[in-house]
């Protein structure tokens, strides 16, 4: 379980394709490798992945994860290459501050950036997401994009917009996004359950 508050930006340093469509990825980070347990979960641009190895190279820590064929197909993980920068968040611990919203790290699909409009200190993004996910997006509701907890400004049909503040642009990879880019999207867990309850009733 995560909060959508990014604590580091990692960089993919190696991608190794293995049997049965599995990929092993090495990611450098600012985390102390001694504090990372093999088997721990780390959200990598919003995708919960399991640590299978960790170590230190120079003054940077690193960890390795494995992604299954379905993860590679349904998320941006399949497009990651050496040098790709990704948002990182370690799993929530009891007693941690819940600064964003409850994020499971299970990406529901991909959203595409339609427009980016920059002002002097903010950026407004308009995105399109799959129609089946659009019903979970509501103005003033929460959504996670590449693992970042954000508040929806407007929603209409299969598009929605968000206003990103300077701090978020600086400390996450969202500042790198341009029109045409794809991002991992996870809809709000409460919205999903509310919709399910309404269907059953």
**Which of the residues 68, 156, 179, 195 is marked catalytic?**
68
Q: What is the gyration radius of the CA atoms in the chain, in angstroms? A: 17
Look up residue 148 and give its two tokens: 């970042």
Which position among 7, 13, 40, 50 bears the catalytic label? 50
d(CA 112, CA 72): 17
Choose the catalytic residue: 3, 28, 29, 41.
Answer: 41
Q: How is residue 119 written in tokens?
A: 């002002």
Is 48 tagged catalytic? yes
- Catalytic annotation on 41? yes
Which is catalytic among the residues 23, 26, 43, 48? Answer: 48
Strand ranges (DSSP E) for 84-157? 85-90, 109-118, 123-128, 142-145, 148-151, 154-156
68 is catalytic: yes
Is 23 labeled as catalytic in the residue annotation?
no
Question: What separation in angstroms does the CA of 173 have from each of 33, 102, 176, 201?
Answer: 22, 20, 6, 40
User: What are 54's two structure tokens?
Assistant: 């960790």
Catalytic annotation, pick one of 2, 63, 125, 160: 2
2 among known catalytic residues? yes
Catalytic hit among 14, 69, 106, 156: 106
Find the catalytic residue in 151, 156, 194, 195.
151
Residues acting as catalytic residues: 2, 41, 48, 50, 68, 106, 151
């Amino acid at each position: 379980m995560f909060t959508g508050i990014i604590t580091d930006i990692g960089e993919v340093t190696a991608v190794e394709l293995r049997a049965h469509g599995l990929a092993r990825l090495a990611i450098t980070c600012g985390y102390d490798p001694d504090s990372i347990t093999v088997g721990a979960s780390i959200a990598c641009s919003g995708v919960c992945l399991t640590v299978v190895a960790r170590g230190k190279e120079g003054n940077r820590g690193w960890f390795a994860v494995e992604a299954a064929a379905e993860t590679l197909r349904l998320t941006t993980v399949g497009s990651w290459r050496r040098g790709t920068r990704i948002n990182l968040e370690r799993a929530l611990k009891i007693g941690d501050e819940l600064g964003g919203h409850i994020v499971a790290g299970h990406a529901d699909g991909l959203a595409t950036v339609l427009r980016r409009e920059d002002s002097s200190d903010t950026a407004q993004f308009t995105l399109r997401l799959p129609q089946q996910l659009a019903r979970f997006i509501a103005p003033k509701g929460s959504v996670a994009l590449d693992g970042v907890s954000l508040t929806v400004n407007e929603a209409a049909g299969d598009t929605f917009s968000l206003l990103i503040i300077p701090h978020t642009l600086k400390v996450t990879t969202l500042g790198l996004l341009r029109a045409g880019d794809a991002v991992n999207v996870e809809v709000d867990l409460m919205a999903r359950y509310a919709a399910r309850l309404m269907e059953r009733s």
